Homo-oligomer: A and B are copies of this chain.
Amino acid sequence: MRNLSMLIDFYELTMANSYYHHHKNEEAVFDLFFRSVPDDGGYAVMAGLEQAIQYIQELKFDEKDIDYLRTKKLFDEGFLTYLLNFKFSCDVSAIKEGTPIFPNEPVMVVRGPIIECQLVETMLLLTINHQSLIATKTSRIVYAAKGRSVLEFGSRRAQGYDAANFGARAAYIAGVIGSANTMTDRDFKIPALGTMAHSFIQSFDNEYDAFLAYAKTYPDSTVLLVDTYSTIHSGLPNAIRVYNDYLKPMGKTLKGIRIDSGDLTYLSKKAREMLDAAGLAETKITVSNSLDEYLITNLVQQGAQIDAFGVGERLITSKSDSVFGGVYKLAALKDNGAMIPKMKLSDNVVKTTNPGVKKLYRLFDQSSNKAIADVVTLDTEVINENEPYLLFDPNFPWKQKLVSDFRAVSLLEPIFKKGKLVYQKPSLEEIRSYHKEQMSTLWDEVKRFENPHPYYVDLSRKLWQLKQDLIEKYAKNS
C-alpha cells in the first residue's frame, strides 16, 4: 500500500487548517465535473473510480506526515491531531466507470464536512482526470478501428509508472484487447501482448536465423517483425521461408507479422497478397508507428489490410490533447441547518457553475435504446418515465423539445455513505463490457471526430430557475 496522503495541493492543507482554526467544518457539497471534451470530441468516458475508491479507503495521515507538516510551522497542533485521527465520513456518489460522460454534469459528488471534502480534492481530480483522459482517447481510437483490434503499446513513452499502469487499465476499459505492459496482465488481468524488437533480429547474423530462432522458441505463437531490413524484399520472404521450412512441417502456422515503419497501407496490402499466396490467409497483420484515431481512419479508408493496430505514445499520453480538465467546485454549504446552494459566477458564462445539491438522469429512447439527453435536476426532483418530459437548452431556454417513451436512468451511484463503502465494485471485464454496451447508445453523430453533434446536457426547470435567481442576486451584490 502506497501512502499518497501527501499527494495533495498544499493549499488544501492551509485552507483546512484555517477552517479548523475558525471552528468551521460545516457540511458541504462539491461537484466534480469537466467543461469541455478533449480533442473537441462529442463525448468522454468516465474512468478511475476504482482507484479513487482505493485512495479514500486507504487515506490516513501517519506520524511521518504529521512530523513533516509540523516542520512547516503553519499548522495548528489541534489540526495536526485532527489529521492524525482523520477518518473519512463523507457521502460520495459517482458515475460508473465506462459510462460516456459530458461537459457540465456532475460525474462525482462529495458531501460531508468541508475540511474532508477539501482534503480529497487533489487526488480525486488527479485520478479521475488521468484515467478519463486515456479512456476517452482510447474509445476514439477503438471507434476508428471499426472492429479491428487495438493493442496498447505505450509504456515507454508514458508520463511515469502510474501512467503506464493505470493508463493501460483505462485503455482496456475503452476497448483495447491487451497491453504490452506485463504488470497490467499480472495485476489487472489485461492480456500481455508483444513479440520482438528490431534489436532481436539485429543480434543474429541474418533475419532468417532470427526468425527461425524465434519460431523455435514460440512455435505456437510465432509473430515476426518484418521491417528491420525491407518488409517486402527481406522480412516477408524470410517469414514465409521460416513457415515453409520449420512451422509447416511441424503442423504449425505463422500466427502473425508486424510492420513498424514505411507506408502501412501499401505494405499491408502487399503483405496480405504475399501471405495469401503462401497459404497463410489466417496470418494476422499488425501495424504500429505513431498511430492514433486520425491515422487509423485514413488507413481503414484506404483499404489497408490490417488486423490489429499497435498504438503507443499517442494513446498513452493522449498526445493530441493531453489534459482532461476536471474541476471540483463547491455546490452547496449548510448554514443554520439549511443547505444553501453556492455558485461560482464568472465573466465567462460557460464557467458559471450549477448550484445546489443535484441529481443526474440520462434519458434513453425506448424504441432505439439511444441516449436522448442528460438532465441535471435538483436532488428533490424525480423524473417520471410515464409522463412526457420537456427538455430545453439551458443557454437558449426557448429551444424546447417534449420527449416521451423514454427510460430515465439515474447516473450517480452511491459509492460511500458516511465514509463507508456501499458500492459493489464491478470487475474490469464488467466495466469493459458495460462501456461497449453504453457506446452503442450514442449516435454516430456524437461519436464522430469532426464537429460532433453536441449531446444535450439540460437542466431541469427548477435548477435552471435557481441558477437564474442566484445570478441575479450576485449581480445585485457586486
Contact = CB atoms under 8 A, between A and B. Distances in A.
B344 A198 contact: yes
A202 interface: yes
A28 B202 CA distance: 11
Interface string A127-145: 0011001100000000000
A313 B34 CA distance: 14
Most central of A26, A161, A325, A346 by chain B CB within 10 Å: A161
Given A164-B7, A195-B11, A129 B156 contact: yes
A410 to B, nearest CB: 26
A7 B333 contact: no
A10 B185 contact: yes
B203 A24 contact: yes
A9 B200 CA distance: 14
Nearest to A22: B213
A80 interface: no
Contacts of A196: 11, 14-15, 18
B155 A15 contact: no
Contact of A7 (B12, B118, B133, B161): B161
A8 B182 contact: yes
A446 interface: no
A10 B317 CA distance: 20
Given A6-B186, A156-B125, A347 B199 contact: no
A6 B184 CA distance: 8
Nearest to A213: B22
A261 B8 CA distance: 22
A7 B181 contact: yes
B317 A159 contact: yes
Contact of A199 (B65, B202, B214, B329): B329
How many copies of the shown chain assemble into the complex? 2
Interface stretch (A95-103, A225-233, A363-371, A416-424): A225-233
Contacts of A7: 155, 161, 164-165, 181-183
Interface stretch (A216-224, A394-402, A455-463): A216-224
A476 interface: no
Interface residues of A, number: 103
A180 B324 CA distance: 19
Contacts of A28: 199, 203
Interface string A153-188: 101111111111111000000000000111101110
Contacts of A192: 10, 72
Contact of A126 (B13, B156, B326): B156
A350 interface: no
A112 to B, nearest CB: 14
A81 interface: no
Contacts of A165: 7, 160
Contacts of A121: 156, 197
Most central of A118, A156, A181, A187 by chain B CB within 10 Å: A156
A324 B18 CA distance: 41
A9 B155 contact: yes
A181 B22 contact: no
Nearest to A153: B9
Contact of A322 (B6, B156, B322): B322
A216 B359 CA distance: 38
Contact of A317 (B21, B157, B199, B322): B322
Contacts of A345: 229
Given A180-B10, A194-B11, A317 B313 contact: no
Given A126-B155, A162-B162, 18 more contacts: A6-B187, A10-B185, A10-B194, A11-B194, A13-B182, A14-B196, A21-B213, A30-B199, A114-B203, A118-B199, A121-B197, A129-B156, A158-B159, A159-B317, A160-B165, A203-B333, A313-B325, A322-B322
Return the 3 tightest CB-CB contacts between A and B, nearest first. Answer: A160-B162, A11-B194, A10-B194
